[in-house]
Structure 1
């Protein structure tokens, strides 16, 4: 059986893209808590696949292009495609404890597009939009950018309001780890 590695948990855009690509190619998906875990153990995954969005960026500001060039001699691009992400939204918790935002670093550009949040908004980062939303609920952050489908996980919908919606498309890169 062949495997494709990507960012989890279940429900991330990376997971959905890997399922889409894997289904077309009869490949099973392996989820990781962060992309850097895949790269740290790249030798263990030789001969398998990796899917990563071109818009990827982590808390340390390492992005797809950094990883692409750093691992150029290890990974070979075998496919590139463009599909929509899940609809995203900026949500506000009316009953917040932390006057800040919890987001995935790649979504910071959307947060910065909302002028009224301004300089009084501390930004905290999670490894995925799914994890950001989990932290938003648990720790009661004021703002979060998450996939719209995550809103179905909550009971207190009257305390959470969607402020802005985003519908981006994403370019996805599929690599064969260790080349062809």
Structure 2
């Protein structure tokens, strides 16, 4: 005959701490350990493309923003999340870029991963039927445009957008004269002249946001 008291003594009690460490309760409560990464949107950007090639096996939630400046100005709201940006980052403010970010935000950002992923082919394009004798570009491409304008001895105003995709949208909608855009943003049969193509390589930096 089975001795019930003896049988009970042989059954190990359920170790809740082990279940908790294994993420059991997180799973039951709908929680997850997904890493949240803030970067530049929309999905047509190089930043989103680079976010799909981070060299690790961590599952990520990609949060897209209208500009890197918006992310950096609101870092306090994203504490313990992550920031992905290129080493070529340049603010719309000409005196602030990746170099300044590295020095001024040393106590708010920890560099976690650095990796290589090329940019999409860039195109400097011109609108023959422009209504504004101006250019609109992403700040990081300013030197490319200025090199062309200097060669052509052109002196025109330059407006800035948060991304190349946004710059192209404004270029089309507001009839600007020049922009620099990712080649894959151009639709077949577009009416614009491609003046020059660029094939830049890029280093990407993944930061942990401390505060």
Does 2:160 align with 1:99? no
Q: Which runs of 4+ in 1 moved over 3 A?
A: none
* Between structures 1 and 2, the one with greater strand share: 1
Structure 1: how far apart are the matches of 2:88 and 2:126?
24
Does 2:195 align with 1:160? no
Q: Pick from 16, 28, 37 the counterpart of residue 70 of structure 2.
A: 37
Compared with structure 1, are the counterparts of its residues 130 and 117 closer, same or farther at alpha carbon in structure 2 (3 Å cutoff)? farther
Equivalences for residues 1-180 of structure 1 within 5 A: 1-21=34-54, 24-61=57-94, 62-114=96-148, 115-152=150-187, 157=190, 159-178=191-210
Q: In the TM superposition, what is the alpha-carbon distance from 1:24 to its structure 2 partner?
A: 4.2
Assess if the C-alpha contact under 8 Å between 2:54 and 2:115 holds in 1.
no
Assess if the C-alpha contact under 8 Å between 1:19 and 1:29 holds in 2.
no
TM-score by length of 2: 0.78
Structure 2: how far apart are the matches of 1:148 and 1:23?
28
Structure 2: how far apart are the matches of 1:124 and 1:33?
16
Helix, strand or coil for the counterpart of 2:53? helix
Q: In the TM superposition, what is the alpha-carbon distance from 1:116 to its structure 2 partner?
A: 4.0
Structure 2: how far apart are the matches of 1:63 and 1:120?
24
Helix, strand or coil for the counterpart of 2:50? helix
Matched residue count: 176
Q: In the TM superposition, what is the alpha-carbon distance from 1:31 to its structure 2 partner?
A: 0.6
Structure 2: how far apart are the matches of 1:75 and 1:12?
23
Relative contact order: is structure 1 or structure 2 higher (C-alpha 8 Å, sep ≥ 6)?
1
How big is each residue's C-alpha offset from its partner over 1:81-118, in whole Å with a ceiling of 9 and x where there is no partner? 12110100000111110112111111011112214443
Considering only CA atoms, is the larger Rg found in Structure 1 or Structure 2?
2
What do you get for the CA RMSD once the two structures are aligned?
1.8
Q: In the TM superposition, what is the alpha-carbon distance from 1:22 to its structure 2 partner?
A: 8.0
Gaps of 5+ in 2: 1-33
TM-score by length of 1: 0.90
Structure 2: how far apart are the matches of 1:141 and 1:21?
35
